[in-house]
Amino acid sequence: MRQKVVKTGLVWILSTALLLLLDINIANANKIQLAYLHIQEQAPLDDNDIKHYQALWKQPANSSDAPLSLTFSEGVSISNKAAPLLLNGSKMQTFTLISDKGLTGKSITIVNLEKTNTEVMLQYTGADSDYAVRLTPSSPHYIFKATPSSWQTIASYTLFGIEHILEGYDHLLFVLCLLLIASSLKKLLWAITGFTLAHSITLVLSTLNIIQLPIVVVEAVIALSIVFLATEIVKNSRSSSKKDSLTYRYPVAVSSSFGLLHGFGFASVLLELGLPQQDQFLALAFFNVGVEIGQLLFIAVALLLIAAMKKIINLRKYQRFNAYLIGSIASMWLIERVLQF
């Protein structure tokens, strides 16, 4: 009896540890806050060296963090500042930047960024350059460069892709269900590959505005996909017969089908932030690379943790418990997202 209690306790501890790997926040499946600053050079008004830039500043309006503001180095002034507008949960403001001899060598600071969990994507469109830079709480400053390399775009969007997937707890729970369903390494690789290819296709199509779906519907169906997989795991754990459901025989079919919807979820972030015009496909490609890197990191850690658990307990005996836990979380997300319709 004592041994059984110890094993049950270990199941609770290890299962909780696996879910803590996701840092689950039931009230909010994506904790990262996003802000966007687009600065675009305007046609010169005369022959002098003074340059004008039109700016769009967008930040979350419902954040409880410290309010963000912008400061520029000496030689840059702000004019024609419009009153802030509230639109789709964001506070948007336009203004004009005036700088003698341009912005090259000048700096920008996002005030209070270090006190928040917000990231700012700075997109600069000039006469001879077009790039995007990611500003974070640990790096809220940037110095404008004359001829930045494409490496800035690659680094910014790759890191942003990694962070986005690791903060996308609904996507990670879906992947975790695939890990629990796959009966062999071969099936797992096929399932993950199918999921990757499928969400990559819709990520590209949605970001390029070829196909669009309402994001509130997409997010609800993503939660529903997790509930579906959790239900399949529970049904299988109750049956002593050979696994003959489509999900267990061909997990790649299920992962690919739902992966198409998950791609629309990934794309919603890029649609909100935008892509640099000259490096549009580069930014899109490396955001997707970042998503895959983050996904592989999660899979590697999850497999190591599962392998460690197998040495202590028989995981198959407790699959139903894990499925109920995952399904309950996904059901709460589903209800919350349906109420947003």
For the chain, the average pLDDT equals: 79
pLDDT at 130 over 70: yes
Return d(Cα 293, Cα 275) in angstroms, integer.
Answer: 20
For the entire predicted model, the pTM comes to: 0.74
Report the percent of the chain where pLDDT is more than 90. Answer: 6
Closest CA to 168 of 14, 318, 34, 37: 34
CA distances from 158 to 152, 169, 283, 284, 285 (A): 10, 18, 8, 9, 9
3-class DSSP state of 194: helix
Say how far apart CA 148 and CA 162 lie, in whole Å. Answer: 23
Phi, psi of 33 (to 5 degrees): -100, 140
CB 290 within 8 A of CB 154: no
Domains and CATH numbers, the chain: 2-30+168-338 (no CATH), 33-150 (2.60.40)
Tokens of 136: 């974070």
Q: What is the mean pLDDT of residues 149-172?
A: 83
CA distance 266 to 207: 9
pLDDT surpasses 80 at 14: no
At 21-71, the pLDDT tens digits run 444 444 444 456 788 899 888 877 665 668 889 999 988 877 666 788 899
Sign of CA dihedral 311, 307, 181, 22: positive
Decide if 78 contacts 95 (C-beta within 8 A). Answer: yes
Residue whose token pair is 């890191």: 159
pLDDT at 240: 55
Exposure of 60 by Cβ count < 10 A (0-12 exposed, 13-18 middle, 19+ buried)?
middle
Check residues 315 and 36 and name the one with the higher pLDDT: 36
pLDDT of residue 243: 56
Identify the CA nearest to 215 among candidates 271, 148, 147, 278. 271
